[in-house]
Amino acid sequence: MPGSGIRKGKTVEWRTLLSDRRERESAGRIRTADLRSEFEKDYHRIIGSASFRRLQDKTQVFPLDKSDFIRTRLTHSLEVSSLGKSLAQNIGENILKYRKDSGFTPRMKEDISHILECAGLIHDIGNPPFGHFGELAIREWFVRNLPVLSFQGKKLTDMLSEQMKADLCHFEGNAQALRLVTKLHYLVDEHGMNLTYALLNTIIKYPVSSLEINENSGNIREKKMGYYYADQDVFFRITSATGAGKSRHPLTYILEAADDLAYKTADIEDAFVKGFISYPALERELRELEEKESQPAFRAAGKLRGLYERGVQKGVSNPEDYAVKNWIISAQGFLINCATFGFTSNYDSIMDGSFRKDLFYGTYGEKLMDLLGDMAQRRVFSTREIYKMEVYESTILNYLMDRLVHAVLNFDSDDRPESIDSRIMSFISDNYKNAYRIHSEGKSEAETVYLRLLLVTDYVCGMTDSYAKRLYQEMNGIV
């Protein structure tokens, strides 16, 4: 398979990594008055898409929240886009200033900024409703149900290949994002949004198949899967064009840092607004962290206390609120510098594909990032309120998966479907069904069954939180 080799130990040049090729090229790339780069054109393809707009009604942390303040997947993605662009500008300037790479040009600095801006917008575009819990619910549904499902008297576990079964049981929003933007966003043809290869490679956080996942290897690229068996051809075309192979694209590290930075700081702010974390609790935990550091580069607790006192002096109505929200901005600035240092200080190993960690690893910001993530887990995600919501979400997703999989198994087969199944199939977007028909043509029986199961996850992942809830209620006659 072309491009399937691991690039480890061999540095790839930026001019290759920043490939502006697409699956479908314009005939001869006719020169027009349009002065935008190919990566700037990607931006406009993304923001005009229905898939991007649907992020406004998908969970970030708090599902089905009515507050205008609490973040959604859309606002989170906009923040990741902004932080990713800032990081790219910082890193690009550092490469130029300290001459880390003779092949890196000022134009490339602009290009990586545009690519990261776009990557931030689509990095979560494949996620199902109800956030990361939605991913978990879909995985667990397949783990429970694949062993008992059959098609025309044959057990699916006997029909499907090991990779097909692993794809379903390790269902992953990152792999779904690649699938959506390359195949499911059916506008002109079967090539989806037809984005540049450099951008597509950047959003592949885990360049391994479902059979190559190794959560205990210590190598971040093997933590989850990055592409489905159904999409491996496009994966190999992308990574062959950029030269990244099965190593991480260097810009993926920047995207991941922007994502981690955005959600770990935002989760604290949203949790504070919702009352899960109080000002005294935040200050106490930051103080404990500060005391463990002999010479803290960022006096997190001291900074928070100083902002509180400034709020009191300014006479603001809620100095705690003033302090927390301004502290988030200050912490983000510090962590941007840490991630910039993480990339530039590990430049050679990132470029040759051997770097195994994230950009905060070994920096002054590592322990702060760890604490913020741990606080959110303890004080938000492990609370009764969130657990109650997740039980409700699980009921919705399990019901939808039950009915949709039952309906889809005999779709497009010789067996006559039940009347209710035909009606349920009518709910699924024609775009998704057209994509299924195109990609199932000439495939084996096992592959077509596998693609039908992906048709279900395609449809479910295209749902907003509100749509999933409403569809569940309508199918159960709940008015």
- Alpha carbon distance 258, 69 (integer Å): 21
Reported as a single tens digit per residue, the pLDDT across 72-89 is: 899 999 999 999 999 999
Give the pLDDT confidence score for residue 414 in this predicted structure: 74
Mean pLDDT along residues 219-239: 97
Average per-residue pLDDT in the chain?
92
- Alpha carbon distance 180, 174 (integer Å): 10
Reported as a single tens digit per residue, the pLDDT across 211-226 is: 999 999 999 999 999 9
Give the pLDDT confidence score for residue 300 in this predicted structure: 94
Tokens of 51: 């898939």
CA dihedral (133, 139, 142, 143) in degrees, to 10, reads: -110
> Which of 128-132, 283-287, 328-332 shows the lowest mean pLDDT across its residues?
128-132
Give the pLDDT confidence score for residue 292 in this predicted structure: 87
Using CA of residue 190, residue 195, residue 200, residue 203, what is the dihedral sign? Answer: negative
Reported as a single tens digit per residue, the pLDDT across 321-377 is: 999 999 999 999 999 999 999 999 999 999 999 999 999 999 999 999 999 999 999
Please name the amino acid found at residue 433: K
> Which of 234-243, 411-420, 441-450 shows the lowest mean pLDDT across its residues?
411-420
Reported as a single tens digit per residue, the pLDDT across 372-425 is: 999 999 999 999 999 999 999 999 999 999 999 999 998 987 777 788 999 999
164 touches 450 (CB < 8 A): yes
pLDDT above 50 (res 442): yes
Mean pLDDT along residues 103-124: 97
Give the pLDDT confidence score for residue 281 in this predicted structure: 97
Angle at the Cα of 437 (from 435 to 441), degrees rounded to 5?
120
Give the pLDDT confidence score for residue 4 in this predicted structure: 45
Mean pLDDT along residues 114-128: 97
Reported as a single tens digit per residue, the pLDDT across 243-270 is: 999 999 999 999 999 999 999 999 999 9
Give the pLDDT confidence score for residue 296 in this predicted structure: 74
Give the pLDDT confidence score for residue 26 in this predicted structure: 66
- Alpha carbon distance 90, 205 (integer Å): 21
Give the pLDDT confidence score for residue 11 in this predicted structure: 74
pLDDT above 60 (res 139): yes
3-state per-residue secondary structure call for the chain: CCCCCECCCCCCCHHHHCCCCCCCCCHHHCCCCCCCCHHHHHHHHHHCCHHHHHHHHCECCCCCCCCCCCCEHHHHHHHHHHHHHHHHHHHHHHHHHCCCCCCCCHHHHHHHHHHHHHHHHHCCCCCCCCHHHHHHHHHHHHHHHHHHCEECCEEHHHHCCHHHHHHHHCCCHHHHHHHHHHHHCCCCCCCCCCCCHHHHHHCCCCCCCCCCCCCCCCCHHHCCCCCCHHHHHHHHHHHHHHCCECCCCHHHHHHHHHHHHHHHHHHHHHHHHHCCCCHHHHHHHHHHHHHHCCCCCCCHHHHHHHHHHHHHHHCCCCHHHHHHHHHHHHHHHHHHHHHHHHHHHCHHHHHCCCCCCCCCCCCCCHHHHHHHHHHHHHHHHCCHHHHHHHHHHHHHHHHHHHHHHHHHCCCCCCCCCCHHHHHHHCCCCHHHHHHHHHHHCCCCHHHHHHHHHHHHHHHHHCCCHHHHHHHHHHHCCCC
Reported as a single tens digit per residue, the pLDDT across 303-335 is: 999 999 999 999 999 999 999 999 999 999 999
